[in-house]
């Protein structure tokens, strides 16, 4: 049961072309909805039934999010796709853009129809030039075929869609920072409420969804919400794209049912490199707390199982670490990232991420003090839940996770001024 939704055309020779996408029934769902004038509520119901939860990391139910929009309110509404893909370890949306851009376009038009929006933007990270060009090419084909523009297929429904390119800023993946960025500003998150459903792009009602969430819509509508839901497990409907990387033989993107045992995913990814032992796994992007390898080998890949182990499924970015890795060094690099990428708007995040990085870095470089471990716990605790956006939590959680499971390695660094692992 692999590659049934977003990657279902991957076996085709040039799946990004319109004609190839259509050879697998692409745009049939859109045609059906437009000609039958399917009631929008029926679409939202189907998405709710599917159990689809936002694939960008937060896991918010997509159908529920769509129902927050007052469809009949006057004025412009927007559908925005989040292809910023900046969470370290994540590289799945890039494959959707490169290999199945039409399914994303179809999903976005259907989303627009469902919420009564006639315009959309896809925010693609600035470094993704090749995926951006693929997407632009697909937009052109779709426009020509009458799937975008005015009066789609004579239905009276209009939908125009454009790509917006980022320019390098992790924070722009946060939905309100992303909106600011489209508006031509610095990407600094907005206070919420108001939520984008009421005050979004250019102040208009807006839904923002991840690339994978939106690209899943055509199949959910074609085969039914129940079909999608049944692929997965309780609370985790459907299949999911997992980006798996690290010390493994065959890193890559795998679309597999939610609830698949991690051990099976690891096997698909070729197992551990050089016959090494698995030491730890970061299961959902770098902000997800680390899970020790032996514990991970017993878990399944779904929201509840990973949350039950004190971490989160996040964006489905799985980083596998073998026993040659020093966890202090790994955390040092992650803390540097969050410190660099904090937008600086709130004090606990701006100052706290700086503290976390400096303290972890001095432990890593043999300058650590005994009180540093408690200091880290304390600083992380002071960031959590006290900031405008979730970047603050994203910085604190990996620190807490590392100290929970690998405190001894940090202690060793402080005591011996060097790594427990290897010669380093």
Partner 1 sequence: MSTTVAKDVNELFNPEVRSEIDRWIAKYPPEWKQSAVMAALRIVQDDNGGWLTTELMNDVAAYLDMPAIAVYEVATFYSMYELKPVGKHKICVCTNVSCMISKADNIVEHLEKRLGISFGEVTEDGRYSLKEVECLGACGGAPMMQIGQQYYENLTPEIVDAILEGLE
Ligand X SMILES: Cc1cc2nc3c(=O)[nH]c(=O)nc-3n(C[C@H](O)[C@H](O)[C@H](O)COP(=O)(O)O)c2cc1C
Q: Which positions touch ligand X (CB under 6 A)?
A: 54-58, 60, 62, 82, 84-87, 171, 173-175, 208-210, 213, 389-391, 394
Map residues 120-139 to x or -, x wherever contact with partner 1 holds by CB under 8 A.
-x---xxxxxx---------
Buried residues in 95-117 as b, exposed as e (16+ CB within 10 A): bbbbbbbbbbbbbbbbbbbbbbb
DSSP structural state of residue 37: T
Whether residue 103 contacts residue 144, with contact meaning beta carbons closer than 8 Å, is answered with no
Which strands make up the sheet holding 239-246, listed edge to edge? Answer: 252-257, 239-246, 317-322, 278-282, 291-292
Phi-psi group of 27: left, alpha or beta (phi > 0 → left; psi -120 to 50 → alpha; rest → beta):
left
Judged by beta carbon distances under 5 to 8 A according to partner kind, the member of partner 1, ligand SF4, ligand X, none in contact with residue 41 is: none
Indicate which single residue of 14, 32, 162, 369 sits in contact with partner 1 (rule: CB under 8 A).
162
Tokens 């315009």 locate to 119
Indicate which single residue of 96, 334, 356, 379 sits in contact with partner 1 (rule: CB under 8 A).
334
Give the nearer residue to ligand SF4 in terms of CB position, either 148 or 343. Answer: 343
Indicate which single residue of 62, 206, 236, 286 sits in contact with partner 1 (rule: CB under 8 A).
286
3-class state of residue 66 by DSSP = helix
Indicate which single residue of 19, 340, 374, 415 sits in contact with partner 1 (rule: CB under 8 A).
340
| Residue 61 binds partner 1 (CB under 8 A) | no
- CB-nearest residue to ligand SF4: 349
Minimum distance, C-beta of residue 208 to ligand X, in the bound complex (Å): 5
Whether residue 115 contacts residue 63, with contact meaning beta carbons closer than 8 Å, is answered with no
| Residue 342 binds partner 1 (CB under 8 A) | no
Give the nearer residue to ligand X in terms of CB position, either 85 or 409. Answer: 85
Longest dimension (CA), the chain: 74
Query: Using CB under 6 A as the criterion, which residues of the chain lie in contact with ligand SF4 when the complex forms?
Result: 171, 189, 342-346, 349-350, 387-389, 391-392
Whether residue 215 contacts residue 107, with contact meaning beta carbons closer than 8 Å, is answered with yes
Buried residues in 269-297 as b, exposed as e (16+ CB within 10 A): beebeeebebbbbbbbbbbbbbbebeebe
Minimum distance, C-beta of residue 345 to partner 1, in the bound complex (Å): 12
Judged by beta carbon distances under 5 to 8 A according to partner kind, the member of partner 1, ligand X, ligand SF4, none in contact with residue 364 is: none
């Amino acid at each position: 049961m692999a590659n049934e939704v977003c990657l279902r055309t991957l076996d085709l020779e040039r799946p990004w072309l319109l004609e190839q996408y259509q050879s697998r029934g692409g745009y049939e769902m859109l045609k059906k909805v437009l000609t039958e004038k399917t009631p929008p509520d029926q679409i939202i119901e189907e998405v709710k039934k599917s159990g689809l939860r936002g694939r960008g990391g937060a896991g918010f139910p997509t159908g529920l999010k769509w129902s927050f929009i007052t469809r009949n309110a006057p004025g412009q509404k927007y559908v925005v796709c989040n292809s910023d893909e900046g969470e370290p370890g994540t590289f799945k949306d890039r494959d959707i853009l490169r290999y199945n851009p039409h399914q994303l376009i179809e999903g976005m038009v259907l989303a627009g129809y469902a919420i009564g929006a006639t315009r959309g933007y896809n925010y693609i990270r600035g470094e993704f030039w090749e995926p951006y060009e693929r997407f632009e090419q697909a937009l052109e084909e779709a426009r020509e075929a009458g799937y975008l523009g005015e009066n789609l297929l004579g239905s009276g429904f209009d939908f125009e869609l454009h790509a917006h390119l980022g320019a390098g800023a992790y924070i722009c993946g946060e939905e309100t920072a992303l909106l600011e960025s489209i508006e031509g500003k610095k990407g600094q998150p907005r206070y919420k409420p108001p939520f984008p459903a009421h005050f979004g792009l250019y102040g208009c009602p807006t839904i923002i969804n991840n690339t994978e969430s939106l690209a899943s819509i055509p199949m959910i509508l074609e085969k039914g919400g129940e079909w999608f839901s049944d692929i997965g497990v309780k609370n985790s409907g459907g299949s999911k794209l997992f980006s798996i990387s690290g010390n493994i033989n065959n890193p890559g993107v795998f679309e597999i049912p939610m609830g698949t045992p991690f051990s099976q995913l690891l096997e698909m990814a070729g197992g551990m490199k050089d016959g090494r032992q698995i030491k730890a796994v970061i299961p959902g992007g770098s902000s997800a707390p680390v899970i020790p390898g032996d514990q991970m080998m017993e878990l399944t890949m779904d929201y509840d199982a990973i949350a039950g182990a004190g971490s989160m499924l996040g964006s489905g970015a799985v980083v596998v670490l073998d026993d040659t890795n020093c966890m202090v060094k790994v955390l040092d690099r992650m803390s540097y990232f969050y410190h660099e990428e904090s937008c600086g708007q709130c004090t606990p995040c701006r100052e706290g991420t700086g503290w976390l990085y400096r303290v972890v870095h001095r432990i890593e470089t043999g300058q650590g003090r005994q009180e540093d471990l408690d200091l880290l716990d304390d600083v992380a605790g002071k960031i959590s839940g006290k900031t405008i956006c979730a970047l603050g939590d994203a910085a604190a959680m990996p620190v807490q996770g590392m100290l929970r499971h690998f405190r001894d390695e940090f202690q060793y660094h402080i005591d011996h001024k060097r790594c427990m692992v290897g010669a380093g």
